[in-house]
Amino acid sequence: MKIIVTKDYAEMSKKAYELIRDVMLAKPNCILGLATGSTPIGLYDNLIAGVKNNEITFKNVKTVNLDEYVNLPRAHKESYFSFMHEKLFNKVDILEENINLPFGAFGDMNKNCDEYNELLGKMRQDIQVLGIGGNGHIGFNEPNTSFKSVTHIVDLTENTRKDNARFFENDVDNVPTQAITMGIQNIMDAKCVIILISGAGKAAAAKAMIEGACDPICPASALQNHKNVIVVIDEAAATLLNKKNLNN
């Protein structure tokens, strides 16, 4: 793993932008794997600015996203489809037909998973952006998910639903009970993975991912076996890391 420690969130977002920009410039029709959550928003702001400045274009870029809620209409403001449009897609020159997220709005969810998995088989990510959960999850792959997992349905834990209630009129009953997520194997199939980690609340998860056992108890530790992983981590999240592992 290559580990880049940045001063703060803004510098982490800028560094992540530069890495993705370089992929987009080297391969204008690249496939970007994208993530929701608060962590990548600064990166998305930088991507929007990069398009405005004519530094990059999404004209021929295709995207695949990690996950989506089950039984939530795409038009719902809290769907990940809406999140990605609001935070990035509506503000850059991407073609709608080049945007891909798991489909959780309705239908046979097992079939929706299979179809997404098939799509990922044809669309290997040139670079996959990840955040990490405080418990080491990546996408909705919670602790003890098999490293061999592919796109699947996840039952959201009571804790996750309580955490997310603030986005659903503060009523846990409004929070979806399931999600569809890329599996860990789908993430490992990406040619390059960039994982963004910010804030003291993520310090223990970062340590487990980088220095702990490679074990499903910390889903992100699967990345120890990936040949091309770049960790972009701010100082607050890097406090527990062994200094000798920091190569910048």
Q: Which residues bind ligand PGA (CB under 6 A)?
A: 37-39, 131-133, 137
- Could you tell me the smallest distance in angstroms from the CB atom of residue 133 to ligand PGA? 4
Where do the H-state alpha helices sit in the chain?
9-26, 41-52, 80-87, 109-122, 158-164, 184-188, 203-211
107/166 with CB nearer ligand PGA: 166
Q: Output 48 or 114, the one with its CB closest to ligand PGA.
A: 48
Long-range contacts of 169-178 (CB under 8 A, 24+ apart): 176/69, 176/70, 176/71, 176/72, 176/104, 177/70, 177/71, 178/69, 178/70, 178/71, 178/104, 178/109, 178/153, 178/154
Q: Which residue is nearest to ligand PGA (CB)?
A: 37
Tell me if residue 128 falls in helix, strand or coil: strand
Q: Nearest distance from residue 81's CB to ligand PGA, in Å? A: 17
CB of 43 to ligand PGA, least distance (A): 11
Query: Cα dist. 128→187, 196, 241 in Å?
Result: 7, 11, 23
Kindly tell me which of 5 and 35 has the beta carbon lying closer to ligand PGA: 35
Q: How far is the CB of 57 from ligand PGA (least distance, A)?
A: 26
Residues involved in catalysis: 67, 135, 137, 142
Distance CA 120, CA 230 (A): 21
CB of 28 to ligand PGA, least distance (A): 28
> Which three-class secondary structure string do you get for 29-94?
CCEEEECCCCCCHHHHHHHHHHHHCCCCCCCCCEEEECEEECCCCCCCCCCHHHHHHHHCHHHCCC
Measured from the CB atom, the residue of 8 and 118 that comes closer to ligand PGA is: 8
Q: Which is nearer to ligand PGA, 51 or 195 (CB)?
A: 195
